[in-house]
Structure 1
Amino acid sequence: MSESDATPVEDAIVLDYLPHGRADDDRPGYQKPPIAFVLDSEHFTLHELTLTDDSGVKIGDRLDITSPPEGVERVHAIDYEDLSSGARSELEYVIEDLIEEEEDRFVSIYNDAQPITLRLHQLNLLPGIGKKLRNTILDERKRRPFEDFEDLDDRVTGLHDPQGVLADRILEELREDELKYRLFVREQ
């Protein structure tokens, strides 16, 4: 890897692969290197990888870009706006799959969320969770921690699709630069 301005990422998921580089790159096709867009599955940061022609990278691959595999020449952090349209459309599905795969990690958000200020709680940052629903979640988790999303769904009436609520918040944090509070996306 010749250059890197990225946060160390051990598990990045390939969202899109452009074998002929960016369409908005004005260089002749033979001068444009292949690129891939990836999502860091731990900190939800976005990165662009510059690849060699023989990299073998495919959409859906999981890469350790802390010590990039053969074929990755450059890694750099990007914003949501820098993603290709293909990467943007794939992003929601990748996040939903990640939440499903790592259920314990994401259920713990509901179990461990804390107050931010005297008037604002981390749970209130989640779409559709107001004061009443927040209090219900807090009361239920005092009785016993939520075991999984099904348990959460069964015990908290009014909270429909707890996984979808988390996915929506992650997407909002990726799309919006000016958010005051973040639960998932690390600032780059």
Structure 2
Amino acid sequence: MPPKTERTDKKEVEAIVLDYLQWGYASDRRPLNQRESIILAVGTDQFKLLELIAKKDVAINLHDKVYIGEDERKHVERVKRRLSYDELTPTAKGELEPVVEKIIAESEGRFVEFYNTAVPISLKMHMLNLLPGFGKKTLTDTLEERQKKPFESFEDIRTRVKTLQKPEKFIRERIMLELENPEEKYHLFTSK
């Protein structure tokens, strides 16, 4: 079965911290002891941007992976809401790209599988063409090589497709494009 161009909208189970606002947003005018500590995070599966409420008296650091599933949570009291890219703090925006890179590196098999299973969307457009900078020659070379044998890793892709020396970069740039521009027609890796 071909991969879907839009991920199903399911709940994230883990997220990575992009910013931690111990005393909440600066615009919150309540006394400090009445404010909630806020975590801005990105989900590790669908790259959902989230506002989380931290439990009291827990240490939170940038790039920490926090559990947000249904079971007992160590760091997070609750998931408050989804955010748009524009709602992120400057710190969270600055941390997003390195965190996306980290998620891609930790889930390499998932993204290598995308290179192995991406299909045409129409007669003139292939899913791989949606990766920023992915040209006709790279598409042709990638399709020829994966037909011989499925790719096993990013290193395998680099070795076999000479025009594709940074396959993870193409994935990262597509994810960032989808996060920054939610009006994108196709979402390969993120949830609308």
Per the TM superposition, whether the score is higher than 0.5 is yes
Which piece of structure 1 moves more, 136-145 or 57-66? 57-66
In structure 2, distance between residues paired with 1:70 and 1:152: 38
1:182 match: 187
Within the candidate set 144, 149, 173, 2:149 is matched to 144
Distance 1:11 1:52, change over 3 A: closer
Amino acid at match of 1:60: H
Amino acid at match of 2:165: H
Amino acid at match of 2:48: T
CA deviation profile, 1:120-154 (whole Å, cap 9, x unmatched): 11000001112221111101100111111111112
2:171 match: 166
Which piece of structure 1 moves more, 53-62 or 162-171? 53-62
CA contact (8 A) 1:17 1:59 kept: yes
Distance 1:102 1:48, change over 3 A: same
CA deviation profile, 1:98-121 (whole Å, cap 9, x unmatched): 111221111111111111111111
Q: Does 1:74 align with 2:78?
A: yes
CA contact (8 A) 1:54 1:71 kept: no
Instruction: Map 1:13-162 onto structure 2 (within 5 A).
Output: 13-67=16-70, 69-70=73-74, 72-75=76-79, 76-162=81-167
Number of aligned residue pairs: give it: 182
Deviation at 1:156, TM superposition (A): 1.1
User: Which secondary structure state, in structure 2, belongs to the residue aligned with residue 147 of structure 1?
Assistant: coil
In structure 2, distance between residues paired with 1:70 and 1:92: 25
User: Which secondary structure state, in structure 1, belongs to the residue aligned with residue 17 of structure 2?
Assistant: strand
What percentage of aligned pairs have identical amino acids? 42
RMSD between superposed Cα atoms in Å: 1.8
Deviation at 1:71, TM superposition (A): 5.5
Runs of at least 5 residues in structure 2 that lack an aligned partner in the other structure = 1-8
CA deviation profile, 1:10-68 (whole Å, cap 9, x unmatched): 11111111111112334343332110011110111111012243233332222221226
Amino acid at match of 1:157: K
Runs of at least 5 residues in structure 1 that lack an aligned partner in the other structure = 1-5
Question: Could you state the TM-score of these two structures normalised by the residue count of structure 1?
Answer: 0.89
Amino acid at match of 2:99: V
Which piece of structure 1 moves more, 71-80 or 136-145? 71-80
CA contact (8 A) 1:12 1:39 kept: yes
CA contact (8 A) 2:67 2:74 kept: no
CA contact (8 A) 2:175 2:189 kept: yes
User: Which secondary structure state, in structure 1, belongs to the residue aligned with residue 56 of structure 2?
Assistant: coil
